[in-house]
Chains A and B, each alone.
Chain A
Amino acid sequence: MTLHIVSKSPYSSSALTDCIGSFAEGDALLLIEDGVYALSGPASEKITISPVYCLEADTDARGLSIPENIQAIDDARWVSLCTEHNPIVSWFK
């Protein structure tokens, strides 16, 4: 079960779209850095997959509020997500 990590904004990169295209049953998505901009605006409607996590430090830094279907996590939970999934695939182009 793959953990997908998206670190680029959906408004400047195709990372999120590419990731969703290869998302399989049992996978999880984590939004970090500018990837958290997927939580606001029209891009948020594209996230029909689950579970989706976001790094709270990165949403806080950008002043974004977190929708109900998204779980905000800290660095410690980020580590445990990485132990629970394999492989970890980063999307940043």
Chain B
Amino acid sequence: MKFSLVIYGAPHASQSAASALRFARALLQQGHEIHRVFFYCDGVHNGSALSAPPQDETDLVAGWQSLQEQHRLDLVVCIAAAQRRGVLSESEALRLEKPAGNLAEGFELSGLGQLADAAARSDRLITFGA
């Protein structure tokens, strides 16, 4: 079955993103397909390459990246939510005249259309609210 996930929570601020990552792993383990993971509102912080949690805590950004690498996941960060919260790709940083980009490898910035597309193309859409 084809699933898409929507994540509203920043790492460390709520359990939302951690639950979503666990659920994503369980999905893939059972042979289901993840069409897209859409990071919305504060969830965009999951795509920041600059987060540096202590070694004895879960690194959710790295968790998403390794899942992305293994399963070629489509990890989409909402561009409008990301700009407001300071999560920028190199090209967006240039365009907006900011000193640096910080979008983590494996993530891409895109618009809400990708969420609508995910809802239309997936058998199930699951929201992880913060």
Contact = CB atoms under 8 A, between A and B. Distances in A.
Interface of A: 5, 7, 32-34, 57-58, 75-76, 78-80, 82-83, 86-88, 90-93
Contact of B126 (A33, A90, A91, A92): A90
Contact of B16 (A7, A57, A79, A82): A7
Contacts of B91: none
Contacts of A80: 30
Given A75-B25, A83-B1, A93-B129, 8 more contacts: A33-B14, A75-B26, A79-B27, A83-B124, A86-B123, A87-B124, A88-B124, A92-B129
A7 B129 contact: yes
Given A7-B16, A32-B19, A33-B15, A79 B127 contact: no
B26 to A, nearest CB: 4
Interface in B87-130: 123-130
A62 B72 CA distance: 34
Contacts of B23: 75, 78-79
A11 B63 CA distance: 31
Contacts of A75: 22-23, 25-26
B124 A78 contact: no
Contacts of B19: 7, 32-33
Contacts of B124: 82-83, 86-88
Contacts of A91: 129
27 contacts: A7-B16, A7-B128, A32-B19, A33-B16, A33-B19, A57-B22, A58-B15, A75-B23, A75-B26, A76-B26, A76-B30, A78-B23, A78-B26, A79-B23, A82-B3, A82-B126, A83-B1, A83-B32, A83-B124, A87-B124, A87-B125, A90-B128, A92-B8, A92-B127, A92-B129, A92-B130, A93-B129
A32 B15 CA distance: 10
Nearest to B28: A79
Contacts of B14: 33
